[in-house]
Chains A and B, each alone.
Chain A
C-alpha cells in the first residue's frame, strides 16, 4: 500500500521534522522584519505557548489515529512530535524566565506559588522534563516498556495543566482555551474508553507495537 510506504519512508520523517521547525523559524523571520507587532515579547510568549499546546494535542492524537486508521507506522513520529512540544515549552518557559523575570528567583518563586495560572503552567512544564530525558530507546530498554509507559502517561497531566494554564490566564474571551480543552478532553476520553473496554474483556496476549516503541499513551 503506497500510503504505508510513504509513512515508513525516511524522507517523510525529515519532512515532518522540518515542518515542526516552521513556527520557530517564522518567529525568527518576523523578529527581523518587524512582524511581531507592538509587543514582541508578548507575541513570542503567546506563539510559543500556543505551539506547545498544539504539539501536545498532536502527540496525544497519534495513538488514537494509528489505531482508528489502522496505521501503526504513525508511531514513528510520536517521539519527535512530543519532543517538539517540549522544545516549544522550553522556549515559552525561557521567555518568561529571562525576559519577564530576568532570573529574579525570589519573584519567580513567589509567582509559581501565588499565581495559579503560573503554578499550572510550571507544573505542566516540569512534568515534561522526565519525559524528554527518558525519550531515548536506551531509556525505554532500561526502564522496561511497562514502567516507561506508566511514566509517559504524565503527558496527560501536562496537557490538562496546559489548558488550565491558558484558561486561567485569559481575561474574558475563553473561546480558545475552551477549544483546546475540548480537544484534550476527546483525546483523553478515547483512552479512558479503550481502557474500560479492555478491562472488560482481557485479551489473551497484548499485541505489541513496533519493536523498541511500546504502546504508551
Chain B
C-alpha cells in the first residue's frame, strides 16, 4: 500500500514482487525454525481464537497432537508415516486460493483468508479411522462444508463434488515414487457433502493446520476412511457424474468411491472389523460408519454397502 501511494519512488527502487514474497516466506519460516530449536517440534501454529464447541464432538480421549502430526499419510510427501512431518514443511501455504467451479451459479476463487472467515469456526472432536486399521481422535477446527456450497449456489446439475489437492512436482514425490496418480483427487455425493458432519477444516488442536495434516484447508468426513478427507485443497468442482478418486484409480477392487467405515465389509486383503487406536495396545472393534451411523446411515438407505464399498 505504502509503495503505491508514493509516486516519487522510481520503479527501479521498488522491490520486485517475487523478492518481497520471498522475504515474507523467510519471515514466515522464522517462528518455525525457532520452535524447532526450542522444543524439537516441527510445528509452531497460529492460535485460532473464538472457536465454538460443537454437539457433534465425541467425549472420547483425544489422541496426543504429536502422534497425529507425526504419524499420518500424505503420499505426496513420502509413503512412510513419519515422512510427511518433515517433507511437507516445504509446502507454501500462503498465498493460497481455492477455485470453486462447475455446475454452480457463482463460480469463484476464494482466498484462504476469506475461507477462514466464511463461517464461525467450530471445534469438532471426531474419530478418524484409516483404511489401514489405525485410528485417532482429533479436535479439528472448521465449519460445515455446506456453508461454502450454499455460497456458490449449485445448479440442478450438481450431483457430485470433486476435490483436488495442490500438486507441486518440485517439492513433492513423483507419481511413480508415490505409487498413486497425482494430483490427488477425491469426491463426495452432493447429499454427503451437504451433511452437517462433513467439514472444511482449517485447524486442529486450537491452532491452524500443520502442513503435513493438509494445510491450509482440508476436508474431514468422519464416517468415511481417512483417505476420503482430502488435504490441501486447491479446487472444488461441482459435477453431474461421479468423479474419479485417487485410491479408486489406484486399485478399484480395494478402494471404492464411497469408502464408508464398515466393519462388515472387509478390505480384500484384511479385515476391517477392528482397529488400533493410537496409544492403545490391543485392537478395538470398529464401529459402523465409524460410530456416526445415527447421523449418516439414512444417506445410504436401500443401498447395498457391499456393492458400493
Contact = CB atoms under 8 A, between A and B. Distances in A.
B179 interface: yes
Contacts of A42: 134, 276
A173 B178 contact: yes
Most chain-B CB neighbours within 10 Å: which of A38, A169, A175?
A: A38
Interface centre among A102, A110, A168, A173 (most CB of B within 10 A): A173
Interface string B161-184: 000000000000000011110000
Given A39-B278, A42-B276, A117-B269, A172 B71 contact: no
Contact of B276 (A39, A107, A169): A39
Interface stretch (B8-16, B74-82, B117-125, B291-299): B74-82
A111 interface: yes
B277 to A, nearest CB: 10
Contacts of A100: 283
B179 A39 contact: no
A172 B269 contact: no
Nearest to A118: B270
Nearest to B131: A171
B70 interface: yes
A163 to B, nearest CB: 16
Contact of A171 (B179, B278, B281, B283): B179
Contact of B71 (A37, A107, A174): A37
Given A37-B81, A99-B281, A169 B71 contact: no
A26 B106 CA distance: 59
A191 interface: no
A38 B70 contact: yes
A37 B251 CA distance: 29
Nearest to B68: A38
A102 B282 contact: yes
B242 interface: no
B178 A172 contact: yes
A69 to B, nearest CB: 35
A172 B79 contact: yes
B134 A37 contact: no
A23 interface: no
B132 interface: yes
Nearest to A176: B79
Interface in B62-100: 66-68, 70-71, 75, 79, 81-82
A171 B282 contact: no
A111 B272 CA distance: 12
B281 A39 contact: no
Contacts of B250: 172
B71 A38 contact: yes
Given A38-B70, A39-B134, A116-B269, A173 B282 contact: no
A99 B269 contact: no
B67 A38 contact: yes
B269 A39 contact: no
Interface in A69-125: 99-100, 102, 107, 110-111, 114-117
Nearest to A168: B269
Contacts of A172: 75, 79, 178-180, 250-251
29 contacts: A37-B81, A37-B82, A38-B67, A38-B68, A38-B70, A38-B71, A38-B278, A38-B279, A39-B71, A39-B278, A41-B276, A42-B276, A100-B283, A107-B271, A111-B271, A115-B269, A115-B270, A116-B269, A117-B270, A168-B269, A169-B269, A172-B75, A172-B178, A172-B179, A172-B250, A173-B177, A173-B178, A173-B179, A175-B177
Given A38-B67, A175-B177, 20 more contacts: A37-B71, A37-B81, A37-B82, A38-B66, A38-B68, A38-B71, A38-B81, A39-B81, A39-B134, A41-B276, A42-B276, A99-B281, A99-B282, A107-B271, A111-B271, A115-B270, A172-B79, A172-B179, A172-B251, A174-B179
Interface of A: 37-39, 41-42, 99-100, 102, 107, 110-111, 114-117, 168-169, 171-175
- In the A-B complex, list the 8 residue pairs whose CB atoms are closest, starting with the nearest: A172-B179, A38-B71, A38-B67, A173-B79, A173-B179, A38-B278, A172-B180, A172-B250
